Every structure is written in C-alpha cells, then in structure tokens.
Amino acid sequence: MYSAVANCDVELAEYIEGRTRLLVPAASLAAKGPPPMLPAFFNPLAAVTRDFAVLFYAARASKYGLRLLDALSGIGARGVRVANESGSNIEVHLNDANGAAVEVALRNCELNGLMDRCAVTKDDANVLMYSAPRRGIKFDAIDVDPFGSPVPFTDAALSTVRLGGVVTLTATDLSALTGRSQAAGRRKYCVSLWRTDFSREVAARALAGYSVMRAASRERGARPLFAHVDSQYARVYLEVGGSARAADESLEHMGYLEYCPRCLYRGVGASGQGDPHTCPVCGGELRELGPLWLGDILDREHVKGMLRAADERGWTARSRILRRMLQEVGMPPYYYSLDRVADSLGLCVPRMDALLEALTSKGYRAVRSGMHELGVRTDAPHKVVIEEMRRLSSC
C-alpha cells in the first residue's frame, strides 16, 4: 500500500469534476484527439460515466455502508469521486498496475481529504482480486474499467465480490459488441451480432449476457441493475448472487433477438440455432443476435434511488436521462433510432412527440429511450411503428 508520494514525473493540472478536485495529466486536457495513454491516462469526456457511478453507488450505499474496489483505477478519477461524493459510509480501494497513475491517485485522495477512507495499491488487478478472499478482504462492489474489453478481468471480479454485491464492467471495444466486428464479438464475448439501428442496446445486452454466463459457470447468479452506453463505452452494473439455483434463474433470461436488414423488423427470437428464418413483415431473411440478456437491464428501485441522488445534486441532465430510463422498465429489449430508421426508409425524421402521441393513442406503450437521444421504445408492432413514421414524415 502506498503511504507516501514518490516524485511524480507526470505534468499535472487541477481539474474540477462534480464536487471533486482532481489532479490530471495536463496533456489529457490539451489533447484534440484521444487522450495520451502514457504516462497516465485520463479522459475528460468520460465525465458522464463517472457521474452515473457517483449516483449508483450513492443509491446503493444509502442504507448500508459500501466497500468498493476500483480495480483499474488509473489516476483515481472515478474512485475518488465516489468516495468524495457518494457518501461518507463508502470506503474505496484504488488499484492500478501503472506506478505513475497510482502516485497521482494517491495525491488525489490527499487533495480531497480522503486518506481515512481510501487505500491505494499498485498491483495486478487479477492477482489482487483472487488473493483478496485468502487475506480476509471482502468487497461489496468491484468496478472494472479497462482499456478495451473487461473479459480478462470478469471471472476474477465475479468470483471475488461478496454474495449480494455488485460487479460493474466497462467495455470500450464497441465494435465487438455492436456487430461492427463480428469475429471479435465471437472471440471475446461468444456472441453472434449484426449491425442494427439499436446498437447501443445490443452492446449493453451482449456485455450483460456474457457476464451472466460467466457468473453461472461459477454457480453464481447475476442480474443487471443499471446500464449506460454512449459512443465510447458500454457499462453494466450487475448484482451477484451465490447458488446454482440463482445461476439457473439468471440463465432463463438469456435469448436471441431477430432483425431484418430489409425492413428493419426486430423481435425476440426463439431458436438460437443460427438457421435462417423468414421475416414476418417482408419475407426477408432474419438475422439472429445473441445470446443476449433479454430481461430488464434496469432495476426500477435502483434507478429511482439514482434519480433522487441526481435531483439532490441538481444534475438536471442526468435526471432527465434517468426519468426516461424509469419509463423503459418492463418494455421490449430494443428501441427504434428514428434517424437511422428514417434514413433507411427514405423518410424525413418525424417529430418525436408526434410519434409517441400517435402510438399511445392506439393503446400502445411508447416512451423516449434513455439509450439514444432519438430512440423510441415501444411495444407497438413493427408494422404500426413504420406506418406511423411514414404518416408523420414531412417529406
């Protein structure tokens, strides 16, 4: 464990995010493209994911204390913010294998007066996680945010977190999770995917599904509590239970989606055999996506807790997204990206409010999606959605 700061060769700048003061590599703030990886990495554009982490752990720890392992903490931006902003009953263990990043993380803990609730170590993440139970260390939550795929760390996190705890996984290799790189998806996540207009949903459900299957192989159940995806990353928060029965129950929510690239039909599939199926709308060949998590990817009570925390902090942009997400609980596991669908059909994008009103007036549920700014989630049949889009298109 680090107890003193060695000479740090990283040129640092002070940066305020949320309610937390952070020392960050100056080069990461000046970069016009992706921030430099070395000597230490910080992405200012990932503030939204750190905001949601603050809200999630605040809601999770509102009744009980929480011990969080930030297994790949980098300079500590997320872990320090959680310790500083999510509640005084949270302890955070920050770890990274990069010595320069660890030194900056320690300085950030000191800068925010958190040394009584934060520990900082320089270790291999998997070694730390697998060795923790033997040393009598228990974590209520483990957060894994690597460069690229979380696959190399998933088994260790799912095996180490205490029963009833949370494992949070971040993936930035979205090409593998959205069908842009089918081979990478098969290799890393054991999924067969195709490009769709609801690719963010596919990414979240593919990552959640992979995690559920890895947990089941250890006779542990897992279920998503929250998920958020943007153009750079997919992130899922999973509660982990501990029995073969829990694993079996989790696996019951795995399945396949069907998608027609000709007419853009989408629905829940049944076979998972990879055989071609006929689209019920246009007669084209359906493509299967999966296996995916098809159950709710948002837990109503956890999202409500996050919304309360966002409202208390005056984070109106985050509150707006969370309110949309609350409306999506219990809805189908896909949405319609109005811009992508309209472009494919040669239409102008209809007004969002007009389409929602048209679908609800016919007795269907229709809400704006928190996954995509122009996303509509509805239980209306595909034909009805397309008919209303055509009717409302101004072109």
Residue 58 has pLDDT above 90, yes or no: yes
Residues in contact with 316: Cβ distance below 8 Å, sequence separation at least 6, in sequence order? none
Burial class (CB in 10 A: 0-12, 13-18, 19+), 30: exposed
With respect to residue 348, please indicate whether it lies within any of the assigned structural domains.
no
- Which pLDDT band, with edges at 50, 70 and 90, does 35 fall under? confident
Phi, psi dihedral angles at 367 (to 5 degrees): -140, 160
Residue 114 has pLDDT above 50, yes or no: yes
Residue the block writes with tokens 């209303």: 388
Residue 226 has pLDDT above 50, yes or no: yes
- Under DSSP, is residue 35 helix (H, G, I), strand (E, B) or coil? coil
With respect to residue 313, please indicate whether it lies within any of the assigned structural domains.
no
Give residue 2's pLDDT.
Answer: 35
Residue the block writes with tokens 């999606």: 369
Encode pLDDT of 155-174 as tens digits.
Answer: 999 999 999 999 999 999 99
Number of domains present in the structure of the chain: 1
Cis peptide bond N-terminal to 39, omega within 30:
yes
Q: What is the CATH number of the domain that holds 22?
A: 3.40.50.150
Residue the block writes with tokens 């997919």: 234
**Among candidate residues 34, 20, 22, the one with its CA nearest the CA of residue 104:** 22
Q: The whole model's pTM is what?
A: 0.95
DSSP string of 228-279, one letter each residue: EE-SS-EEEEEEEE-SHHHHHHHHTTEEEEEE-TTT--EEE-S--S---EE-
Range of the domain at 88: 12-257
With respect to residue 310, please indicate whether it lies within any of the assigned structural domains.
no
With respect to residue 19, please indicate whether it lies within any of the assigned structural domains.
yes
- Under DSSP, is residue 289 helix (H, G, I), strand (E, B) or coil? strand
Q: Which residues pair with 236 in a beta bridge?
A: 169, 227
Encode pLDDT of 86-99 as tens digits.
Answer: 999 999 999 999 99
With respect to residue 293, please indicate whether it lies within any of the assigned structural domains.
no
Encode pLDDT of 243-262 as tens digits.
Answer: 999 999 999 999 999 999 99
Burial class (CB in 10 A: 0-12, 13-18, 19+), 138: middle
With respect to residue 7, please indicate whether it lies within any of the assigned structural domains.
no
With respect to residue 368, please indicate whether it lies within any of the assigned structural domains.
no
- Which pLDDT band, with edges at 50, 70 and 90, does 8 fall under? low
Taken in order 153, 158, 159, 164, is the CA torsion positive or negative?
A: positive
CA separation for the pair 279, 263 (Å, rounded) = 9
With respect to residue 359, please indicate whether it lies within any of the assigned structural domains.
no
Encode pLDDT of 262-321 as tens digits.
Answer: 999 999 987 655 566 899 999 999 999 999 999 999 999 999 999 999 999 999 999 999
